[in-house]
Amino acid sequence: MGNMPHAIRNAQRPQTRSGIVPPPPDSRLLPLGSADPRAAFTAAELLVVLVIMALVAVLILPSVDSFLPVYNLKDAARRIATLEETARAQAIVTGQPWGILYEMDISCVSILKRPKPDTPLSAIIVSEGDRWEKLTSQYLPKGVRLYCVNFGNIEYCRGLVVITIPPTGLYSRHAVIVSDAKERTFSVITNPLIGTSQFYEGTRRLPEK
């Protein structure tokens, strides 16, 4: 028992002059430049992962492809509603008539205002004797087109459609219908009394008067 402390002291790991303790002889550290074979994937495991990823892509991509056109239709409807609400607010605030221009053939929607005296003629649009200056314009998302603008007993599907918004904010109630390449439709119906818009999936026209 008296020799035990001496034996323990002799079993202590040696230290170098720098104070760094070298690893014990049974250390599991690998030589520099070598890799642990347990940390690598085998070719069979990689092949299984690739097959699973391919199956997931096959299952998910069709659903994403069918979802995007519907999203684009809703996005187009929101853009139209935002432009109309903006033009209506400007007409009320400025006390001047404003307007909305639907270019049916190129699926573009623009906000109109009365031109200034120095407005170039190339920037002026004339509709039913009224002169307008085109301001903000937005094209509908890719794959979506303006189908028609419906006023109940009248419907426009081609050319230019100008809707005048007087300073009172009360203008003609109408429905704007957009469609995509698969003939799916989405409708926006404005309520000029309160300046809001309602959205409907499918074709929704105003009743004929």
For 136-175, the three-class secondary structure string (H helix, E strand, C coil) is: EEEECCCCEEEEEEECCCCEECCCEEEEEECCCCCCCCCE
Residue 12 clears pLDDT 80, i.e. is over it: no
Non-local (6+) Cβ contacts of 178 within 8 A are 73, 76, 77, 80, 140, 144, 145, 146, 147, 185, 186, 187, 188
Q: Is 19 inside any structural domain?
A: no
Q: Is 189 inside any structural domain?
A: yes
Domain of residue 122: give its range. 63-201
Beta bridge partners of 145: 179
Q: Is 14 inside any structural domain?
A: no
Average pLDDT over residues 10-28: 53
Residue 192 clears pLDDT 90, i.e. is over it: no
Higher pLDDT, 158 or 191: 158
Higher pLDDT, 195 or 52: 195
Q: Is 83 inside any structural domain?
A: yes
Confidence at residue 19, expressed as pLDDT on a 0 to 100 scale: 57
Q: Is 186 inside any structural domain?
A: yes
For the chain, how many structural domains are there in total? 1
CATH of the domain at 186: 3.55.40.10
Q: How far apart are CA 179 and CA 204, in angstroms?
A: 12
Residue 32 clears pLDDT 80, i.e. is over it: no
pTM of the complete model beyond 0.85: no
Report residue 17's pLDDT band, with 50, 70 and 90 as the boundaries.
low
- Kindly report, residue by residue over 105-162, the tens digit of the pLDDT: 999 999 999 998 888 888 888 888 899 999 889 999 989 999 999 999 899 999 999 9
* Pairing relationship of beta strands 130-139 and 108-113 according to DSSP bridges: antiparallel
Average confidence score pLDDT of the chain: 80
DSSP 55-111: HHHHHHHHHHHHHHHHHHHHHHHHHHHHHHHHHHHHHHHHSS-EEEEEETTTTEEEE
Residue 186 clears pLDDT 90, i.e. is over it: yes
